[in-house]
Chains A and B, each alone.
Chain A
Amino acid sequence: MTHDGNIMQPATEAEACDIIAEARAAKRTLGIEGGGTRAGLGRPISCDGVLSTRKLTGVTLYEPAELVIAARAGTPLSVIEETLAEKGQMLPFEPADYRALYGTQGEPTIGAVAACNISGPRRIQTGAARDSLIGVRLVNGRGEAIKSGGRVMKNVTGLDLVKLTCGAHGTLGLLTEVTFKLLPKPPAEASLVLDGLDDAQAIRAMSLALSSPFEVSGAAHLPMGSNGSGAVTVLRLERDAESLAYRVGRLAELLAEVGLARRIEVDESRAQWRDIAQAGPLAKAHGPAIWRLSLPAHNAARCMADISASLGARYFYDWAGGLVWLAVMPSDDAGALRVRHATAEAGGYATLMRAPDELRAHVDVFPPLGAALMKITAGIKSSFDPDAILNPGRMYAGV
């Protein structure tokens, strides 16, 4: 174990247990840090010390024929992706890179991908990080090493604490090792682009595409002006080359009732989807606050008309309209009242992904919970971390 000022860097799970147990005894709070590339995500917190996964690295298990990989939490995501690429495999959920969004350097870690449930455009086809995460080891706020799940993809033994810790932003424990199921990486990719659709037409086109049997793996709409150009609706297919040719053709036929689709090839398609995944069309301008709305796609166009009428915001859609990235001026509450009201009306939720600390300190970052859900959430926090020493307040006051 290394101490670097107030940063503690356990090299083993046992050391992490000791650090957390000592912190609990001394009533010292610990902020959990991976690569630091998403430090701006969540409520701003100040802790007595930092607990880093920097020394908890390395792939611990990789069985390509079993479609499973396990790694210590601090392992850089790039190492995982390179390891998988050698065998023609991938993390199914396409974890997004938020360095552009937060203007950060460094390397995202696989542990943080799990802790923040970081997913990307392929979520509409293959699920989120939480759907591929099949096992975790973590140290809870009592300093106990806990495991849940395992290395097999079908496992219903006991309560699914894997899901609970995925997306808990380190508030329940320090993840020390995570295990994901994998998919083969399709050898070929192309996208179809429809130009000039308005939001409602685009969402209809994306719904048509996702209701087809052609297994669309990305569906995004960039309204006019969101990307410095005219509106584009992009639909991705990832297959082997022969099947790709067939499906691109069939999908274009299906979309003919909405518009004429043009095909973009692998390099352009990859660049486009990388940009969409990292919220590139909005992230590059550093002034605005950025919201991320998760809502039923069929209500999204109406919701965004409502929001943009009052806020004059820029936005674009991913997940066939089920995800909206929204940029607003960071004044007052960054439009929180309007955004949350409109999103709730649409049956969805809004997360304040990027805003100055002072703004995130007084506007709820994560969607507010009702009293009953908050009581359960606080109870679960306490069951893992009774003295609230791990990332306290990262998600909600006290949690």
Chain B
Amino acid sequence: MTIPFPVPDQSILARRDEIIAGLAMLLPPEGLIISEDERRAFETDALTAYRHVPLAVALPRTTEEVAAVLRYCHEHGVKVVARGAGTSLSGGAIPQTDAIVLGLSKLNRILDINFPGRTVRVQAGVTNLSITEAVSAEGFFYAPDPSSQLACTIGGNIGMNSGGAHCLKYGVTTNNVLGVRLVQMDGTILDIGGEALDAPGLDLLGLIVGSEGQLGIVTEAVVRILRMAEDARPVLFGFETSEEAAACVAAVIGAGIIPVAMEFMDKEAIAICEAFAKAGYPLDAGAMLIIEVEGSSVEMDAQLKRIVEIARQHNVQVVRESKSAMETALIWKGRKSAFGATGRIADYICMDGTVPTGQLTYVLKRTGEICASYGLRVANVFHAGDGNMHPLIMYNVNDPEDARKAEEAGMDLLKLCVEVGGCLTGEHGVGIEKRDLMRFQFNPQDLNQQMRVRAVFDPQWLLNPAKVFPLDGRDAA
């Protein structure tokens, strides 16, 4: 594994006892983790190849405790890495040895549900799915639905601007958050936005969403909830080739149809997910789309009729509609467990570049070629409507040579995404994983402007400092 971490600050490591004593004054005993065994539980996230045991772990219960911890760390020059549920695939929550982890797991309450205004106020450690669970009895849901939604927190979603399968229609986190309570590194508590649609001044909310814990720590959020459609129905479309499936996606959108989701799986992904979920995926297909439509049953029939016509023009082999709620759940289970199911058969790294959808066919072909050139298997499962690719590159984590190849293949794939007009990451974030590729997408002026904005919030670079921006060249900003 080749991504470097900054050299730990020895003066901080030497002052560990003093720092722990200082933090202990601010938190109850159960809110501060100091033993090595317990700290080890926080050494990595879902990018498990990289591990660093943090100096200590603070688990505050209130915004005020978060502010007190940050104020202390600001005064004493201690770095802080925020953590929600630790499901980041890009290493966003991986600590460094000279930093404390600030975990938001104890801030886990839903504070207010406003059905007439269709907003929910939550603490940052509330899980994504629990928001929907809290409002579903009344027929509402929270739209962004990353695959990790059972575990991942709204704070982490805000940090990464998470997406999901349904954002083609409903947008990503930034389109569904109305306000945040943000604690700055110096302990200042700010409310940005609220229940109104517009907030005053510059769009700081839009800047904070997706800033990967580098501008401050979000402790509360106001999110929009939406009324569920009358009904939803996913349909499986099996094609002989990926080219046909990709062309079908473009044709559906070109015909003015925006299905609520269009998910793509290649042959390898179909086999892996079917073996795990027994969802009835077509094992002989070269590629599969899950297209979901919403509305009344008559509306869904009408929309599906048009989609099926288009699919037939693209030589679809199998069309299978969900006939029951159970079947619908199973179809989505197969898709949403793609990462976990892949993890059962091999170690993998998951890339997350987005490409213009017109380039899907080319990018899929090149993905296969690139991985084959390293002698690696790859499964493709992704959000086709928006071009957000998720190649899962399989390797053996115990074989350093294999691991190096996987990482290199992944970097080649991301460069490919940028070359065809896309970007390095569609929803997982830069983290450490893509940090050193940022120069492929941005020139020095672009990056320096971002870093100058970052410095307005955290001039000492104490917040999650190993992430997002290449380690060298920061002074020039």
Interface string of A356-388 (1 = CB under 8 A from B): 000000000011110011001101101110000
| B250, B422, B453: the one within 8 Å of A65 (CB) | B250
| A157 adjacent to B196 (CB under 8 Å) | no
Q: How far is the CB of B329 from chain A (nearest CB, A)?
A: 20
| A155 adjacent to B253 (CB under 8 Å) | no
Bound: A210/B203 CA distance, A: 25
Q: Which residue of B lies closest to A64 (CB)?
A: B254
| B197 adjacent to A322 (CB under 8 Å) | yes
| A131 adjacent to B171 (CB under 8 Å) | yes
Size range of the chain B interface in the assembly: 35 or more
| B196 adjacent to A154 (CB under 8 Å) | no
Q: How far is the CB of B428 from chain A (nearest CB, A)?
A: 8
| B207, B256, B423, B468: the one within 8 Å of A88 (CB) | B256
| A347 adjacent to B196 (CB under 8 Å) | yes
Q: How far is the CB of A132 from chain B (nearest CB, A)?
A: 9
Judge if B449 is at the interface, Cβ distance under 8 Å: yes
* B356 proximity list for chain A (CB < 8 A): 63, 66, 68, 151-152
Judge if B296 is at the interface, Cβ distance under 8 Å: yes
Tell me the chain A residues, 178-199 only, with Cβ under 8 Å from chain B: 183-185, 187
Q: How far is the CB of B374 from chain A (nearest CB, A)?
A: 24
| B203 adjacent to A166 (CB under 8 Å) | yes
| A144, A164, A204: the one within 8 Å of B207 (CB) | A164
Stretch at the interface among B39-47, B282-290, B339-347, B440-448: B440-448
* A88 proximity list for chain B (CB < 8 A): 256
Stretch at the interface among A280-288, A291-299, A330-338: A291-299
Interface of B is mostly: loop
Judge if B118 is at the interface, Cβ distance under 8 Å: yes
Interface string of B177-219 (1 = CB under 8 A from A): 0000000100010101011111111111111011100100000
Stretch at the interface among B14-22, B57-65, B454-462: B454-462
Stretch at the interface among A41-49, A96-104, A122-130: A122-130
* B199 proximity list for chain A (CB < 8 A): 349
Judge if B24 is at the interface, Cβ distance under 8 Å: no
Judge if A4 is at the interface, Cβ distance under 8 Å: no
Given contacts A158-B438, A211-B116, is CB(A243)–CB(B198) below 8 Å? no
| A373 adjacent to B201 (CB under 8 Å) | yes
Tell me the chain B residues, 124-141 only, with Cβ under 8 Å from chain A: 139-140
Tell me the chain B residues, 242-260 only, with Cβ under 8 Å from chain A: 250-251, 253-254, 256-258
| A89, A124, A156, A295: the one within 8 Å of B160 (CB) | A156
Judge if B299 is at the interface, Cβ distance under 8 Å: yes
Judge if A35 is at the interface, Cβ distance under 8 Å: no
Bound: A172/B456 CA distance, A: 14
Tell me the chain A residues, 241-292 only, with Cβ under 8 Å from chain B: 242-243, 246
Q: How far is the CB of A20 from chain B (nearest CB, A)?
A: 13
Judge if A201 is at the interface, Cβ distance under 8 Å: no
Interface string of A23-66 (1 = CB under 8 A from B): 00000000000000000000000000000000000000001111
Judge if B361 is at the interface, Cβ distance under 8 Å: no
| A184 adjacent to B258 (CB under 8 Å) | yes
Bound: A177/B295 CA distance, A: 37
* A150 proximity list for chain B (CB < 8 A): 421-423
| B197 adjacent to A213 (CB under 8 Å) | no
Shortest beta-carbon contacts, A-B, top 5? A163-B206, A367-B200, A184-B256, A379-B456, A294-B198
B binding-site residues for A, Cβ under 8 Å: 114-119, 139-140, 160-161, 163, 167, 171-172, 174-175, 184, 188, 190, 192, 194-207, 209-211, 214, 227-230, 250-251, 253-254, 256-258, 295-296, 298-299, 302, 354-358, 383, 386-388, 421-430, 434, 438, 441-443, 445-447, 449-450, 452-457, 468
Q: List 19 A-B contacts (CB under 8 A).
A: A63-B356, A131-B174, A152-B386, A152-B426, A155-B423, A155-B426, A157-B430, A158-B430, A163-B209, A212-B227, A213-B228, A246-B298, A294-B198, A296-B114, A296-B117, A296-B196, A348-B196, A373-B190, A395-B202
